[in-house]
């Protein structure tokens, strides 16, 4: 099921039906995200006319292209390579004409991969804010609101820079709700949020931001491109792959195997350990009482949970969810689960997620592991690595967010 979810969001599947007609002028391809290089390769393979451009992707996610330059940069904390790429992207779309077309390829991870500090701010300041946000428990929507207002390229600014050229943005969504403004912080779409909203988020989570960042937000200098801006009149957006599509592909695998599949939601948010407890309760109700559905079945969900890192572990929202789920299930004999990030990276680890079996807790205790202590320490990656139950995919070249499957066997 996990493989099917990832396969459904591969650029080779979802890009070709959405390629535009050849413009009268030039085609410039730009983009950012973990899938952007793979997206660029598909564009090259399916485009007959001339084109040029540059996209930036995560280290290790490059795909060779002949006409579109591929740059690798850091994720989730941005680096200088990403900043230089962002500056070059802005230069590429400068001085275009109305007959030209900018094809913008955007996927999850683009916020970190295309950093360009607003005037008066530095990369170091953005790195400091990014690290604090990642550990704060803020939702992806909240984090991206702050990022938009500290940027010279996000929040519609890239789209505005393309004017008067036509702009078509193809999005692979990795955010709950599939809101274009939240995917890579919306570089080509209007942003209804404000500096005041961003400042409120910084204060709500106690983010220790540099003085220059706070002053930038307080002054309103970081205001983004707003709805109705005439520079975005020729900018169009198409969402070509989503978490819901991936879950439906997974459900098809289960049904083909004769197991009922129920998609709970493609947009679950909240603390990962809390979501684990809630879904454990639901799974137990199914297993023991055949409510609200009967076993055998699989419960599927997506979205993006959060981890507030308070311990010395490395976090990872999918493994933290899974360890919390395992503790709440207490080794129930008929419940299995898998949770993973469809981009192949859970948190800051080169591990997609993990698998939980009915005997996971028992095997862990034989090894001397203390599940509850490890959950409290945000150390779930070490827990599942010790069991040999990590799920490692390598770069998947796509990103449609978290995947969770809870399989409940019949009696």
Nearest to 407 by CA among 348, 355, 349: 355
Contact (CB, 8 A) for 6 and 342: yes
Q: In this structure, are residues 268 and 302 in contact, taking their beta carbons and an 8 Å threshold?
A: yes
pLDDT at residue 268 in the model = 96
Tell me which H or E stretch contains 198: helix 195-204
Q: What are phi and psi of 128, to 5 degrees?
A: -60, -45
pLDDT-based confidence at residue 86 (cuts at 50, 70, 90): very high
CA distance 86 to 101: 19
Whole-number pLDDT of residue 289:
97
pLDDT for 349 beyond 90: no
Q: How many Å apart are CA 237 and CA 182, to the nearest integer? A: 13
**Residue 315 pLDDT > 90, yes or no?**
no
What pLDDT does 242 receive?
97
Q: What is the pLDDT of residue 132?
A: 95
* Residue pLDDT, tens place only, 195-245: 999 999 999 999 999 999 999 999 999 999 999 999 999 999 999 999 999
Q: How far apart are CA 204 and CA 372, in angstroms?
A: 28
3-state secondary structure 80-149: HHHHHHHHHHHHHCCCCCCCCEEEEEEECCHHHHCCCECCCCCHHHHHHHHHHHHCCCCCHHHHHHHHHC
Mean pLDDT, range 390-410, rounded to an integer: 96
Q: Return the half-sphere exposure (C-beta side, CA atoms, 13 A cut-off) of residue 334.
A: 15
Q: What is the pLDDT of residue 240?
A: 97
Tens digits of residue pLDDT in 169-190: 999 999 999 999 999 999 999 9
The pair of structure tokens assigned to 253 is: 């695998």
The residues near 215 (Cβ < 8 Å, ≥ 6 apart) are none
Task: Reply yes or no on whether the pLDDT at 314 is more than 90.
Answer: no
pTM for the model stands at: 0.91
Q: Is 34 a residue whose pLDDT tops 90?
A: yes
Helix (H, G, I), strand (E, B) or coil at 380: helix
Q: Worst-scoring range by mean pLDDT, 14-18, 125-129, 310-314, 382-386?
A: 310-314
More confident residue, 130 or 347: 130
Q: Which pLDDT score, from 0 to 100, does residue 127 have?
A: 97
Region 59-86: what's the mean pLDDT?
96
Distance, in Å, from the CA atom of 73 to the CA atom of 56, rounded to the nearest integer, reads: 7
Which of 80, 76, 89, 79 lies closest to 32, judged by CA?
89
For 101, residues 6+ apart whose C-beta sits below 8 A from its C-beta are 20, 23, 25, 26, 27, 28, 165, 166, 167, 168
Sign of CA dihedral 378, 380, 381, 386: positive
pLDDT greater than 90 at residue 11? yes
CA-derived radius of gyration, the chain: 22
Measure the N-to-C terminal CA separation of the chain; round to a whole number of Å. 22
What integer pLDDT is reported at residue 307 of this predicted model? 93
Is residue 160 over pLDDT 90?
yes
CB neighbour class for 328 (10 Å; exposed up to 12, middle 13-18, buried from 19): middle
Average pLDDT over residues 250-276: 97
């Amino acid at each position: 099921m996990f493989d099917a979810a990832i396969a459904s969001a591969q650029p080779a599947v979802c890009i070709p039906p959405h390629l535009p007609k050849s413009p009268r002028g030039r085609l410039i391809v730009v983009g950012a995200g973990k899938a952007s290089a793979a997206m660029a390769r598909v564009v090259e393979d399916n485009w007959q006319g001339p084109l040029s451009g540059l996209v930036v992707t995560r280290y290790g996610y490059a795909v060779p292209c002949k006409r579109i330059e591929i740059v690798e940069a850091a994720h989730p904390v941005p680096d200088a390579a990403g900043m230089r790429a962002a500056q070059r992207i802005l230069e590429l779309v400068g001085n275009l004409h109305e007959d030209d077309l900018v094809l913008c390829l955007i996927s999850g991870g683009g916020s970190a991969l295309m950093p360009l500090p607003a005037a008066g701010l530095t990369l170091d300041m953005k790195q400091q804010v990014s690290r604090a946000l990642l550990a704060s428990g803020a939702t992806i929507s909240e984090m991206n609101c702050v990022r938009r207002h500290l940027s010279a390229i996000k929040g519609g600014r890239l789209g505005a820079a393309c004017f008067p050229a036509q702009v078509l943005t193809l999005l692979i969504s990795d955010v709950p709700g599939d809101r274009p403004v939240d995917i890579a912080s919306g570089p080509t779409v209007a942003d209804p949020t404000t500096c005041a909203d961003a400042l409120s988020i910084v204060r709500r989570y106690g983010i220790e931001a540099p003085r220059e960042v706070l002053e930038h937000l307080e002054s309103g200098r970081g205001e983004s491109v707003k709805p109705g801006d005439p520079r975005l009149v020729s900018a169009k957006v198409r969402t070509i792959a989503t978490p819901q599509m991936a879950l439906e592909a997974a459900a098809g695998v289960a049904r083909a195997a004769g197991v009922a599949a129920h998609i709970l939601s493609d947009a679950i948010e909240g603390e990962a350990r809390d979501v684990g407890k809630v879904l454990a309760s639901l799974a137990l109700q199914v297993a023991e009482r055949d409510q609200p559905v009967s076993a055998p079945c699989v419960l599927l969900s997506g979205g993006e949970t959060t981890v507030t890192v308070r311990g010395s572990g490395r976090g990872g929202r999918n493994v933290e969810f899974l360890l919390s789920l395992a503790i709440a299930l207490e080794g129930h004999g008929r419940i299995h689960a898998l949770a993973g990030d469809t981009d192949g990276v859970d948190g800051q680890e080169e591990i997609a997620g993990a698998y939980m079996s009915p005997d996971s807790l028992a095997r862990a205790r034989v090894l001397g592991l203390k599940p509850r202590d490890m959950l409290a320490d945000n150390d779930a990656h070490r827990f599942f690595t010790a069991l040999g139950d990590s799920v490692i995919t390598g770069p998947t070249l796509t990103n449609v967010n978290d995947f969770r499957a809870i399989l409940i066997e019949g009696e």
